[in-house]
Amino acid sequence: MTTQSRTADSPPRLEVSGLTVTFGGLTAVDDVSFTVGDGETVALIGPNGAGKTTVFNAVCGLVRARRGQVRVDGAPAPSSATGLLGAGVSRTLQGLGLFDRLTVLENVLVPLTGTSPRRPRRRTPGGSRARALGLDTARETLAALGLGDLAAVPAGTLPYPERKRVALARALVTRPRLLLLDEPAGGLGPADIDRLAGTVRDVSGAGCSVLLVEHHVDFVTDVADRVVVLDFGHVIAAGTPDEVRRDPAVEEAYLGVPAGTGASEETA
Amino acid sequence: MERLVFLLSTGLARGAVLALFALSLVIVYRAARVVNFAQAALAVVPVYVAFAITSATGSYWLGLAAALATGALLGTVVERRLMRLVPQDNPLAGIIVAIGLVMVLQAGLAIAFGPDHRPVHAPFPQRPLEVGGVGLMSPYDLFVLVVAAVVMGGLALLFNRTSLGLQLRAAAFAPETSRLLGVRVPRMVTLGWTLSIATAALAALLLVPTGLGLDPHAADVLFVNAFAAAVVGGLDSPAGALVAGLSVGVLVALVTGYASAAAAPPAVLALLTVVLLVRPQGLFAAREARTA
Ligand SMILES: Nc1ncnc2c1ncn2[C@@H]1O[C@H](COP(=O)(O)OP(=O)(O)OP(=O)(O)O)[C@@H](O)[C@H]1O
Ligand SMILES: [Mg+2]
């Protein structure tokens, strides 16, 4: 059920195979497999309750898989926060999860303070305090997202779109190789969504792989190289945004019209 | 007028000790969301150690270093071996454990050292300096002010200017989010206790020569006044602890000087009541509480 056959020998950045997650008697995710290659952007879509967030949480070790595997660069994905950061995996948090009382700059510095081998070296010869704190990296990241002028402002005082960008900056500051975005376009207006799409393209252009959970169809079509459609915990379709849009199984899942043939077992 | 100047300057020195102790309460409250009712007993144990070291070696400074080290160690051990095991779902549990700890520590000290006051000598003279015929604070008061200022300045730098300080603040404001970002939250809670009890021990050590001497209850009144100051300041605010600590110190000095020592506790209580009536969250409290 792997959705892309890769020609390269190197393992994909993210490989989810046979992932099954249950909550009590409910199978929220059932035998889901897909990959995200280097610099590729994959969107996970599907109706409400399809299991998207659960897949996402299993990838970051927040829920335990009953069966199946999650591999990052060929190795089993670490489940601890520091382990994931160390493996170059970064995510935005549900409900933003900003520190309202810390400044924008401090918010973005927090992930650099943990012990991760990927953070800027602490004791570079002649390394300044600024270097030790990762200040340069943090300021660069803020500038890249147009937040440079807001560095000293408490995050809690910003309007929602800016807060959302701070959350994105905080995920990007560790220079991840795999970025997990939980509904990044949620609650944003068209202008901010365009800007977000630009950022996602920049990030993936720089070689970072992106897995995003998103409801906003235009945004997904805009940024995703491939789309994986979930329904009732199964992968019911996968392919480019256009292929997926033409897939009758997808239409059925979204419109809830039984199209005569079997239910959602069918895969692309 | 001369009397007022004298009372104000001594009040400031007492207030600096109060502010330091209030700051220690704020640090542990931020880190662990507990009001540590065992703070006074925990602060006095290191002072006994300092007293023993100073008696044995004749050096005040060795005693001071020993007090800081013992306070840090005590804070660490109490968090790791005791407070960490207290169930978090009921805030009363932590308070009851703290009160039990007070009983054990104070009884232990009384058994080990006896219940009597032990006179403690200050490292500097305690007679007021005179400037232009007006009695001001004593050299020891000046020493207390300088030490308190240096320690508070150092803590402010630690919390606001270092990577460790950022982790301490992040873990205090939103522990779950911090954990997901790779901050070792349990370690930060321990460190909060370490810093807090070391600071409290220093405050108690600075206080003892100005009081009746050292006994197991030597820091009890300090705790009560500092707790009032911390609450007035907002419990969560280092700046609030500083301002309210100095204010309570000056208030106590003025009331004691112009009325009587017996009038000081009701005056502090009145201040606390007024502030809580006007601004229940304290003078310097942040607008919103802790998030996930
Ligand atoms: N912690 C949990 N305990 C029990 N059931 C859960 C839990 N998390 C999710 N579920 C259930 O698993 C199923 C999949 O949920 P999930 O949140 O992954 O869906 P989703 O695709 O993200 O939906 P939405 O688009 O509404 O966010 C749902 O039926 C949900 O009720
Ligand atoms: Mg969801």
Q: What's the complex ipTM?
A: 0.85
Q: Domain of B135? A: 13-219
**Is B233 part of a structural domain of the chain?**
no
User: Please, are residues B140 and B205 in contact by the beta-carbon 8 Å criterion?
Assistant: no
Nearest CA-CA partner of B14 in B117, B131, B134, B145: B145
Q: Are residues A104 and A160 in the same domain?
A: yes
**Is B268 part of a structural domain of the chain?**
no
Q: What CA–CA distance (Å, rounded) separates B80 from B211?
A: 33
DSSP state of A156: G
Residues of B in contact with A91 (CB under 8 A): 180
More confident residue, A246 or B201: B201
pLDDT band at B24 (very low <50, low <70, confident <90, very high): very high
Q: What is the pLDDT of residue B133?
A: 80
Number of independent structural domains in chain B = 1
Calculate how far, in angstroms, residue A52's C-alpha sits from the geometric centre of ligand 1: 8
**Is B192 part of a structural domain of the chain?**
yes
pLDDT-above-70 percentage for chain B: 98
Calculate how far, in angstroms, residue A225's C-alpha sits from the geometric centre of ligand 1: 25
Q: What CA–CA distance (Å, rounded) separates B129 from B27?
A: 34
**Is B136 part of a structural domain of the chain?**
yes
Nearest CA of chain A to the CA of B121: how many Å?
A: 41
Q: Are residues A180 and A158 in the same domain?
A: no
**Is B104 part of a structural domain of the chain?**
yes
Q: Are residues A51 and A106 in the same domain?
A: no
B170-193: average pLDDT: 93
Q: Are residues A83 and A23 in the same domain?
A: yes
Q: Domain of A157? A: 95-175
Q: Are residues A182 and A209 in the same domain?
A: yes
Nearest CA of chain B to the CA of A61: how many Å?
A: 10
**Is B18 part of a structural domain of the chain?**
yes
DSSP codes joined into one string, B67-116: HHHHHHHHHHHHHHHTGGGS-SS-HHHHHHHHHHHHHHHHHHHHHHH-SS
Number of independent structural domains in chain A = 2
**Is A268 part of a structural domain of the chain?**
no
pLDDT in tens, B29-88: 999 988 999 999 999 999 999 999 999 999 999 999 999 999 999 999 999 999 999 988
**A69 strand-pairing partners:** A17
* Mutant choice from A56, A93, A113, A116 vs B, greatest count of B C-beta within 10 A: A113
Cβ contact, residue pair A85, B173, below 8 Å: no
Substitution site in A22, A53, A212, A234 for ligand 1 pocket (most atoms within 8 Å of beta carbon): A53
| End position of a domain, from candidates A133, A150, A175 | A175
Q: Whose CA is nearest to atom 23 of ligand 1?
A: A49
Q: What is the pLDDT of residue B291?
A: 54
Q: Are residues A223 and A237 in the same domain?
A: yes
**Is A109 part of a structural domain of the chain?**
yes
Q: What CA–CA distance (Å, rounded) separates B120 from B140?
A: 13
Q: Are residues A52 and A68 in the same domain?
A: yes
| Widest pairwise Cα distance in chain A | 71
B190-200: average pLDDT: 98
**Is B266 part of a structural domain of the chain?**
no
| 3 state DSSP class of B120 | coil
**Mean pLDDT over each residue of chain B, to the nearest integer:** 92
Q: Which of B164, B177, B179 sits opposite A99 (nearest CB)?
A: B177
| End position of a domain, from candidates A175, A194, A214 | A175
Q: What is the pLDDT of residue A249?
A: 82
Q: What is the pLDDT of residue B56?
A: 96
pLDDT in tens, B102-148: 999 999 999 998 888 888 889 999 888 888 888 888 999 999 999 99
Nearest CA of chain A to the CA of B34: how many Å?
A: 20
pLDDT band at B252 (very low <50, low <70, confident <90, very high): very high
Residues of B in contact with A114 (CB under 8 A): 167, 181-184
Q: Are residues A169 and A205 in the same domain?
A: no
CATH of the domain at A222: 3.40.50.300
| End position of a domain, from candidates A124, A140, A175 | A175
Q: Are residues A32 and A108 in the same domain?
A: no
Q: Which residues line ligand 1 (CB under 6 A)?
A: A 23, 26, 28, 46, 48-54
Q: Are residues A108 and A38 in the same domain?
A: no
Q: Are residues A71 and A123 in the same domain?
A: no
**Is A248 part of a structural domain of the chain?**
yes
**Successive 10-residue mean pLDDT values, chain A, 268 residues:** 53 95 94 95 93 91 91 92 89 84 95 62 47 80 94 94 94 94 91 94 94 90 94 92 86 64 41
**Is B290 part of a structural domain of the chain?**
no
Q: Are residues A73 and A200 in the same domain?
A: yes
Phi, psi dihedrals of residue A34, rounded to the nearest 5° = -165, 165
B83-97: average pLDDT: 88
More confident residue, B255 or A255: B255
Residue B162 pLDDT > 50: yes
